[in-house]
Every structure is written in structure tokens, then in C-alpha cells.
Amino acid sequence: MTSAQFDRLSIKDQESLAFAHGSFIGVRQEPEFIIQLFQLNSFYVELFYHQVKERAIATRIFNDVNKLGPYFDSIDLSGLLGL
């Protein structure tokens, strides 16, 4: 699946696909949202969960690894480093 195909899906379908076939990378928090990051095929997906509504209300899809910066503190690299 390409990022364009993924983008055309409903948010519920995007969420299901990310959990079923994506690799969880990390999580971050903003005042209104908890944002989970997944890698799916050759692109990344952020799922935005509204903290009051307690459901995914938006996604952001990107390919640029430079946009991973906000997750660096939450990514556990110990498995990759043999620690």
C-alpha cells in the first residue's frame, strides 16, 4: 500500500491498518493530543488521539525522516545496541 492509498482510507481504517500491519515507533504528547507514530511500508503515520474524546481524530502521513525528531526521546534503541 502506498501513502496515497492509505490517505484515502477513513481514519478508523487507517488506525486499524497501522495497528495490524505497522511497526510502533513511539508516542508523544501535546496539550490536547496523544500522538502515536507507526512505520507502515515506506512511510510514517501519526495517529492523533484527542484526550477528551478518547479516539483517533486525525492522521499525518510523511516520508521525511527529519520529521521524526519529536520522537527521539521516546524511541528505545537498547535492542538495536545490544544493551
CB of 49 closer than 8 Å to CB of 28 = no
Per-residue pLDDT tens for 26-80?
899 999 999 999 999 999 999 999 988 888 999 999 998 888 888 877 666 565 5
Indicate the domain borders of the chain. 3-75
CATH topology of domain 3-75: Viral Envelope Glycoprotein; domain 2 (3.30.67)
Q: For residues 5 and 61, what is the distance between their CA atoms, to the nearest angstrom?
A: 11
Q: How many helices (H) and strands (E) does the chain have?
A: 3, 4
Tell me, what DSSP letter sits at residue 69?
A: G
Q: How much is the pLDDT for 77?
A: 57
Q: 20 in helix, strand or coil?
A: helix
**Model confidence, pTM:** 0.82
Whether residue 83 is predicted with pLDDT greater than 80 in this model: the reply is no
Q: For residues 19 and 50, what is the distance between their CA atoms, to the nearest angstrom?
A: 17
Q: How much is the pLDDT for 34?
A: 94
